[in-house]
Amino acid sequence: MRPVIQTRAITKTFGSNGTAVHALRGIDLDVEPGEFVALIGPSGSGKSTLMAILGCLDRPTGGTYTLDGEEVQGLSGRELAAIRNRKIGFIFQAYNLLPKASVLRNVELPLLYGGVGRKERRERAMHLLEQVGIPEKAMKLPGELSGGQKQRVSIARSLAAGPALLLADEPTGALDSKTGAEILELFGQLNAAGNTVMLVTHDLGIAAQARRRVEISDGLIACNEMNP
């Protein structure tokens, strides 16, 4: 099977000449289908820059990036947006839900953008809410939910388009420890069901929940190994 993520010699430089900052200095990384990988590193390590490139939110300065068989480093902004919608399910610390739309509508949005008909959208969104354990919240507004419930909505939305990669950026950062553990358990269940998950975190305890951890330090991969 082809890798979901394959980067070769990825670099990213901000500024130029005397003010240049080399955020990434040659990243080679493969993530295979069905893997659960934690991307870790302290502030300033290049972790967030790499996540933005892997999520097609930014372009590398050099090197190549292939996402689920498609080379993306040379794509236009519109093409990057299209591949994000098709290939990547994002889960953010801040949830990024539409406050005036129902939970069901929030989950339906990627399907709406994808041109899926109303009946199929609704059925698929309800199935996903059942999968993350909150079908009874379908007609609630995000403001009526707890933090953990909001993150479950975000996860359901990320799954809607059947992406090749779930990319979670500090998904438990705004949650208490008990709720965070429940969300991490849900990621484990999604991975066991065949979803490829990359979890971006600075927390070594959270990273230990993944099957493999990739540590970034000073713009380079300092560690790439299976968790015990």
Percent of the chain with pLDDT over 90: 89
Which amino acid is it at 18? G
Q: Residue 74: which pLDDT band, with cuts at 50, 70 and 90?
A: confident
Averaged confidence pLDDT in the chain: 95
Strand partners, 62: 11
- pLDDT in the model for residue 1: 81
Given a contact cutoff of 8 angstroms between Cβ atoms, the answer to whether 11 and 187 are in contact is no
pLDDT, position 73: 84
Q: Which H helix or E strand runs over 207?
A: helix 204-207
As a whole number of angstroms, the distance between CA 113 and CA 110 comes to 5
CB 212 within 8 A of CB 16: no
Specify the pTM. 0.93
Q: What is the pLDDT of residues 125-153, one digit of tens each?
A: 999 999 999 999 999 999 999 999 999 99
Tokens of 61: 């300065």
Q: Which H helix or E strand runs over 155?
A: helix 147-159
Q: Is 117 helix (H, G, I), strand (E, B) or coil?
A: coil
Give the mean pLDDT of 116-125.
95
In three-state secondary structure terms, 179 is helix
Q: Tokens 């309800």 label which residue?
A: 126
Per-residue pLDDT, averaged over 51-71, amounts to: 95
Bridge-partner residues for 91, per DSSP?
A: 168
Per-residue pLDDT, 162? 94
Average pLDDT over every residue of 1-18? 92
Radius of gyration in angstroms for the set of CA atoms belonging to the chain, rounded to a whole number: 18
- DSSP H helix total and E strand total for the chain: 7, 10
Q: What percentage of residues in the chain have a pLDDT greater than 70?
A: 100
Write out pLDDT tens, residues 166-225. 999 999 999 999 999 999 999 999 999 999 999 999 899 999 999 999 999 999 999 999
Span 45-56, average pLDDT: 94
Question: In angstroms, what CA-CA distances link 168 with 13, 58, 190, 207?
Answer: 24, 16, 12, 12
Kindly tell me if the per-residue pLDDT of 18 is higher than 80. no
